[in-house]
């Protein structure tokens, strides 16, 4: 009995190679698309962080200090400032939050002690930081990030401070 030899066709070799090529090309395209999506997501996340964080920070500070007469808008060293007054024992302290030289700053100081705007602690880079009391007990906070993105928030509070400090 004679064994029959199978005839090999070129297609038997080319089909698996073509299938491997299609799989590799598809994988490459998916990796490129995923990298692009990741890059876009991290950029957007960074931009949102830069605009939301200063507003969230100030909002939280207002909520922490929201007792009768302890939250007001005033000035510190000639700059518009959020003024948060506190009493520790028999001594009075004030926290000033303001924009100075492209940076959101915070200064916690005992009343009566002299200080300059540059003495504060840097929070974040900002182009613009603005506050206004739109009606009694409602404060509008606006912040423009270093990249030029603007974020605003309304914060209601119970206390009403007494004018400029």
CA atoms of 17 and 45, how far apart (whole Å): 42
Query: What is the CB neighbour count within 10 angstroms for residue 137?
Result: 14
As given in the structure block, the two tokens for residue 57 are 């920070």
Residues 128-158 have pLDDT tens digits of 899 998 888 889 999 888 878 888 999 988 7
Residues 94-120 have pLDDT tens digits of 999 999 998 999 999 999 899 999 999
| Buried b / exposed e along 113-131 (16+ C-beta atoms within 10 A) | eeeebeebeebbebeebeb
Residues 9-55 have pLDDT tens digits of 778 888 889 999 999 999 999 999 999 999 999 888 877 777 788 88
Q: How far apart are the first and last CA of the chain?
A: 112
CA atoms of 28 and 13, how far apart (whole Å): 23
pTM: 0.70
Extents of the domains making up the chain? 54-156
């Amino acid at each position: 009995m004679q064994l029959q030899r199978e005839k090999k066709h070129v297609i038997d070799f080319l089909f698996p190679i073509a299938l491997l090529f299609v799989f590799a090309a598809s994988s490459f395209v998916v990796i490129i698309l995923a990298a692009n999506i990741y890059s876009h997501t991290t950029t957007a996340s960074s931009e949102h962080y830069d605009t939301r964080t200063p507003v969230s920070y100030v909002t939280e500070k207002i909520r922490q200090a929201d007792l009768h007469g302890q939250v007001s808008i005033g000035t510190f060293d000639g700059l518009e400032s959020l003024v948060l007054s506190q009493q520790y024992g028999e001594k009075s302290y004030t926290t000033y939050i303001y924009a100075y030289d492209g940076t959101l700053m915070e200064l916690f100081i005992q009343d009566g002690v002299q200080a300059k705007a540059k003495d504060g602690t840097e929070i974040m880079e900002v182009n613009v930081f603005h506050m206004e009391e739109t009606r009694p007990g409602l404060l509008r906070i606006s912040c423009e990030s270093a990249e030029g993105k603007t974020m605003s928030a309304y914060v209601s509070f119970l206390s009403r401070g007494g004018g400029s400090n």
